[in-house]
Amino acid sequence: MMAVGRSGGTVLLLCFSFFALVTAESPYRFFDWNVTYGDIYPLGVRQQGILINGQFPGPDIHSVTNDNLIINVHNSLDEPFLISWNGVQNRRNSYVDGMYGTTCPIPPRTNYTYILQVKDQIGSFYYFPSLAFHKAAGGFGGIRILSRPGIPVPFADPAGDYTVLIGDWYKTNHTDLKARLDRGRKLPSPDGILINGRSNGATLNVEQGKTYRLRISNVGLQNSLNFRIQNHRMKLVEVEGTHTMQTMFSSLDVHVGQSYSILITADQSPRDYYVVASSRFTDKIITTTGILRYSGSSTSASGPMPGGPTIQIDWSLNQARAIRTNLTASGPRPNPQGSYHYGLIPLIRTIVFGSSAGQINGKQRYGINSVSFVPADTPLKLADFFKISGVYKINSISDKSTGGGLYLDTSVLQVDYRTFIEIVFENKENIVQSYHLNGYSFWVVGMDGGQWNTGSRNGYNLRDAVSRSTVQVYPKSWTAIYIALDNVGMWNLRSEFWARQYLGQQLYLRVFTTSTSLRDEYPIPKNSRLCGRAKGRHTRPL
């Protein structure tokens, strides 16, 4: 955390002006980031990586519920750049969400200051670069949001708190991967797996008898991963901002885009132990190791690495169903998480999204409800604000899975603010999929094999389903979620398989209200960059 540096003075005044209006009582944290290319060697060969302040992975963001985060990003690359905040809801302010549908890219050799507030949130998340397949080069890092003083947490303070970023990785530079996709070709299987940017040797230091928190995020491009630690059990305590029932696991499936917090107790003899991450549901199982190192250890990790599941779907499904909300624990506020009885709220609408893969004009594409998303020439949120016609059409995608052939469009589905809806993700393909919705968390009320129908609701968990922002859908299966639409804006819903997202498996939910009250949506930030057909226009004064 640093004070804002060069090019930041004017923007800093704008930040204070903005937050004087909306969140004057909340603390500020300032970050100054320089984004550069640099040589990295995660799999033993030189690659062009994306570094933040010279780091790969990038620096962690540490914050507390309701903090204002002022993040001044200097783009020292030779191409536009954007950062998005996986799991941070940016309440009432989708202008800073960091996806191209909401935010203009930062041009080369310029800077932009993100003005975020982690309003009413706790938990473990991460940030990542959202443009041009940059995610395959780095530029990601952990986000932790601690509870405010006085808000009870359902476990004792750990002796240490570690960010653990796991993900699959290619030896090929991101520019070549992007070029392959642009030619309409699929990506090959990844070459390896990284733990905190290393294929082997990432180390977590512990002292015997003490308990530690590990915040695990899968920041990779396509593979579900299984995480485990030799001779140590893991107690799950939090999932993407929700305190969970404290279930013990010997290993944990972490699907692409997901984040978990576990507690481990250093209750073994003081030596080194393997930390293992391996691919799930792949023909060839890829494995990497790190080290859990006890203080004073003089003995290297040895013996067989702890085994984990490989292709078993039922194992993963049963584990997912076992992850439930701790109803008596406090969340970001002192009231118990179970005080919101989501299972008693009438549904206003059911939306069914089905994925598909195919070719358009001889090139590989992916889609949702037959629409393969193509970006517009102007961020959709700016087109809304400036009332620029012709950028996109509202409801350019059906709210039901059509089963028709793929076609190109800028898919936007309008939903009404302050309604309670159900979304069903159908997966008729033979892969495990993973979906993320920006701006929200949702209740994962059900998942099962086969075709979803209204009778499937009889098996829903309407009491203590986990609330999160990224969910998996198993092969030939469905997953159902409930959402309270309480966050006005334009929000990206996407596949977390990054090649599929890049080639069209995404859309935007336009959460709409006719109100102009600041209680519903903040005005466009005065420092917003304008691009496309919004360039040259003026934001209204604050």
pLDDT tens readout for residues 274-286: 999 999 999 999 9
Joined together, the tokens standing for residue 365 give 């594409």
From CA 312, how far away is CA 82, in angstroms rounded? 37
Average pLDDT of span 114-125: 97
Indicate if the pLDDT at residue 9 is higher than 60. Answer: no
Looking at residue 516, what is its pLDDT? Answer: 78
Give the burial string for 375-384 (b: 16+ CB within 10 Å, else e): bbebbbbbbb
Say if residues 457 and 490 touch (Cβ distance below 8 Å): no
Per residue in 264-320, pLDDT tens? Answer: 999 999 999 999 999 999 999 999 999 999 999 999 999 999 999 999 999 999 999
Question: What does the pLDDT read at residue 309?
Answer: 96
Average pLDDT over residues 230-251: 98
Given a cut of 80, is residue 360 above it in pLDDT?
Answer: yes
**pLDDT for 203 beyond 90:** yes
Choose between 22 and 28: higher pLDDT.
28
How large is the average pLDDT for residues 430-451? 98
**Residue 28 CA to chain centroid, in angstroms?**
23
Quick one: pLDDT at residue 539? Answer: 73
Residue 400 has pLDDT above 70, yes or no: yes
Mean pLDDT of the chain: 94
**For 28-146, which CATH superfamily applies?**
Cupredoxins -  blue copper proteins (2.60.40.420)
| 16-30, 500-514, 518-532: range with lowest mean pLDDT | 16-30
Q: Is residue 8 within 8 Å of 113, Cβ to Cβ?
A: yes
C-alpha 170/C-alpha 65 separation (Å) is 36
For residue range 470-482, list pLDDT tens digits in order.
Answer: 999 999 999 999 9
Which pLDDT score is estimated for 11?
41
- Position 540 scores a pLDDT of 59
Mean pLDDT calculated for residue range 440-458: 98
Task: Report whether pLDDT(342) > 70.
Answer: yes
- What integer is the mean pLDDT of 169-190? 97
Correct CATH for 342-525 of 3.20.20.20, 3.40.1280.10, 3.40.30.10, 2.60.40.420: 2.60.40.420
Q: Flag whether pLDDT at 222 surpasses 50.
A: yes
Q: What is the pLDDT of residue 376?
A: 98
The answer on pLDDT for 373 being more than 60 is yes
In the prediction, which pLDDT does 403 show? 81
Cα distance between residue 542 and residue 18, in whole Å: 7
Within the chain, which residue ranges are assigned CATH 2.60.40.420? 28-146, 160-317, 342-525
| CB within 8 Å of 70: residues ≥ 6 apart | 4, 12, 15, 28, 29, 30, 31, 113, 114, 115
User: Residue for token digits 């169903």?
Assistant: 321
Helix, strand, or coil here: 382?
Answer: helix
pLDDT at position 5 is 33
What whole-number distance in Å separates Cα of residue 14 and Cα of residue 41? 40
Q: How confident is the model at residue 402 (pLDDT cuts 50, 70, 90)?
A: confident
Q: Indicate whether this model's pTM tops 0.85.
A: yes
Kindly state the percentage of the chain with pLDDT values over 90: 92
Neighbours of 399 (CB within 10 A): 16
Render pLDDT for 28-42 as a digit per residue (tens, 0 to 9). Answer: 999 999 999 999 999
Read off the pLDDT band of 19 (50, 70, 90).
Answer: very low
Q: For 174-188, what is the mean pLDDT?
A: 97
For the stretch 407-421, pLDDT in tens is 999 999 999 999 999
For residue 149, what are the contacts with CB-CB under 8 A and spacing of at least 6?
none
Confidence grade of residue 514 (pLDDT, cut at 50, 70, 90): confident
**What does CATH list as the number for 160-317?**
2.60.40.420
CA distances from 440 to 90, 92, 226, 426, 488 (A): 9, 11, 26, 20, 10
Q: Which of 9-18, 161-170, 226-235, 414-423 has the lowest mean pLDDT?
A: 9-18
Pick the closest to residue 130 from 164, 171, 99 (CA basis).
99
Q: Is pLDDT at 16 greater than 80 in this prediction?
A: no
Sign of CA dihedral 96, 542, 486, 142: positive
